[in-house]
Structure 1
Amino acid sequence: MKNTMKSFGLISLIAAAVLVSGCSTNKEKTFPHGETTMHDIWRNAGGGGMQQDLMDARSVLRRSIDDSHITNQQAYTRTAANEIYSQFKRLPNPDLVMYVYPHLAGSEGAPVPGYSTVFPLYNKVQYAMPGERLEDY
C-alpha cells in the first residue's frame, strides 16, 4: 500500500510540474511578430503573387455603377405598389362633395358653422379582375 501511495504521489508531482511548465511559455516565442502584415501574408499566399494577378483580373471585369442603369431598370423592378396597380386596376369611385349648412347641434344648441365634406360614392374600393379594365382612370 505504501508503494502505491508513493507512485501516486510521484505521478501527481510530475503532472503538476507539466501543468506549471505549460503555463510558463512566452507569447513572443510562441507567436513571433515580424514586419509582415496580414495583408502581405494574404497577398503572397498563392505563391509568387497569384493573389495579385487574381485581383488585377477582377478589377478589369468590374463595371462602374451610374444612375442611367438604375433609372432604366425602375420600370422592371417589382414593388408592392406597381404589382397591385398593374394587375388589379381600381374601378372608378367618384368623390361626392356635400355642403352642410350652419345649424345648432346637441341638447345645448351649440352653433355649428357651415362646412363642406368629401366622401366616396361607394363605401369601399372596388378592384377589377386582371385584364378586365384596360383604360386608366
Structure 2
Amino acid sequence: MNLKLVVMVFAGALLVSGCSTSKEEMLPAGDHSMLELWNGAEGGGSTARQAAAARESLRRPLTGSERQVDAQGDRSYSRTQEREITQQFPRLPNPDMVMYLYPHLAGGNTPVPGYSTVFPFYSQTQYAMPGERTEAL
C-alpha cells in the first residue's frame, strides 16, 4: 500500500513538472521585432518578399483548357437553390422491390416473355427534416 502511494506521488510530480517551463525558455523572442523580420532584418537568407517575387516569376499563365476546368471547379462550389434545398431537406431512402417474371405460357399455349418490373416501397417521396439523420445507423 505504501509503495503504491509513493509511485502515485512520483508519477503526479513527474506529470506536473512538465508544465514548469517558461515561454521564454521554450520560444525565445530573439533580437528583432516582427516588422524588422518582415523588412529583412533576419540577414543571411532571402526575405518573404523576395521569395514571393521569385515564385511569381516562375508562374506561367493558364491555358484555355485549364481556365475552363478551373471555372467549372469554381461553379461546383457555388451555392444554388437546388443544392441548398437538397442539403437542408435530403430525400429519405425509398427502396425499390424488383420483381422478375420468368417466361411462361399464359392460357395454356400463349407464350409470355420474361420481364422485370420495379415497385417503390413508398408511394410518395419522403424528405428528412433539417438536422434529421438520413444515413443508416
TM-score, normalised to structure 2's length? 0.39
Greater Rg by CA: 1
